[in-house]
Amino acid sequence: MLRCGQMMLAQALICRHLGREKMCWSPPQSSSAAYGSMHSHRSALGRNKNTAGFCSGWKPLLLIIPLRLGINHINPIYIEAFKECFKMPQSLGALGGKPNNAYYFIGFLGNELIYLDPHTTQIFVDSEENGMVDDQSFHCQQAPHRMKIMNLDPSVALGFFCKEEKDFDNWCSLVQKEILKQQSLRMFELVQKHPPHWPPFIPPTKPEVTTTGAELIESTDKLFELEEEFEILSV
C-alpha cells in the first residue's frame, strides 16, 4: 500500500509540474480497441492547458479520502458513485485491492476496475556517462490489469488533486451533483463548516527529535555476542 501511495503521489506531482496532458498512456496496438471506451481519471486530459500561475493564498491540494464501503464485501449501493469519482477531472484514481494485495486503480471499464500492480518489478536504471537516463522501464510495458469491482476489498482511498482553488470549487460541485444527491447511503459527507459534534481539529506538528537512540548503546560489540544467533546465507 505504501508503494501504491507513492504511485498516486507521483501522479499528483505530474499534474502539479507538467499538467494532466502529460499523463497520456498508450496501450499496445493489439489491445487499443479494447480500451477505446475506457473511463478513467485521464478523461480530463487536455481540458486545462494552463500550467502557470495560482490563485493568491491557495496551495495545490492533494486530497485523499479513506473509506469503508462495506463490512466484509463492498456494498453494491456504492458502486455507481465510486465509478463517478474516476470521471472527475480532479481524480487521481483510488488505492485499494484485496487482502494482502494492494493495487493502484486508475479507471474502470464496465463492471471491471483497471489497475496498476505495484508488485511488478522493473529493470534497474542508472544514468549514462552523458547524463542521459533510459526511462523506458519507467512506463507501462503492457496493458494494465483488470478485476471485477465486486471483488474489491471495502477498504479504499480516493485521491484527488486540485491545482487551483477553482478546481476545488468545481470538485465540490461535482460531488454534490454526482454523488451526494443521487443516493441515500453516501460514501462520505461534504460540509461547509467543522461539525460541532466532532472533536476540535488540531493541526499536526513536526515532532521534535531529541535522541537517535545511539547513545543508549554502550558498545556495539555487545550487539553480536553470540555467532550462533545468526546464519550467513550464500546466494
pLDDT mean over 174-183: 79
Contacts made by residues 209-217, CB under 8 angstroms, sequence distance 24+: none
Confidence label for 217 from pLDDT (cuts 50, 70 and 90): low
Amino acid 139: pLDDT: 73
The answer as to whether 197 is a domain residue is no
Confidence label for 233 from pLDDT (cuts 50, 70 and 90): low
Coil, helix or strand for 222?
helix
Q: Is the pLDDT of residue 4 over 80?
A: yes
The answer as to whether 90 is a domain residue is yes
Confidence label for 49 from pLDDT (cuts 50, 70 and 90): very low
Tally Cβ neighbours within 10 Å of residue 17: 10
Confidence label for 215 from pLDDT (cuts 50, 70 and 90): low
Task: Please report, as a single letter, which amino acid is at residue 8.
Answer: M
pLDDT mean over 56-83: 90
The answer as to whether 102 is a domain residue is yes
Coil, helix or strand for 31?
helix
Show the cell assigned to 234. Answer: 550464500
The answer as to whether 35 is a domain residue is no
Show the cell assigned to 179. Answer: 454523488
The answer as to whether 30 is a domain residue is no
Amino acid 213: pLDDT: 60
Confidence label for 177 from pLDDT (cuts 50, 70 and 90): confident
The answer as to whether 206 is a domain residue is no
> For the segment 106-131, what is each residue's pLDDT rounded down to a tens digit?
999 999 999 998 887 777 787 777 77
Confidence label for 227 from pLDDT (cuts 50, 70 and 90): low
The answer as to whether 114 is a domain residue is yes
Residues 171 and 164: beta-carbon distance below 8 Å = no
Count of structural domains, the chain? 1
More confident residue, 119 or 183: 119
Amino acid 219: pLDDT: 56
> For the segment 11-35, what is each residue's pLDDT rounded down to a tens digit?
999 999 888 765 554 443 333 333 3
The boundaries of the domain holding residue 90 are: 1-17+59-121+141-189
Tally Cβ neighbours within 10 Å of residue 30: 8
The answer as to whether 98 is a domain residue is yes
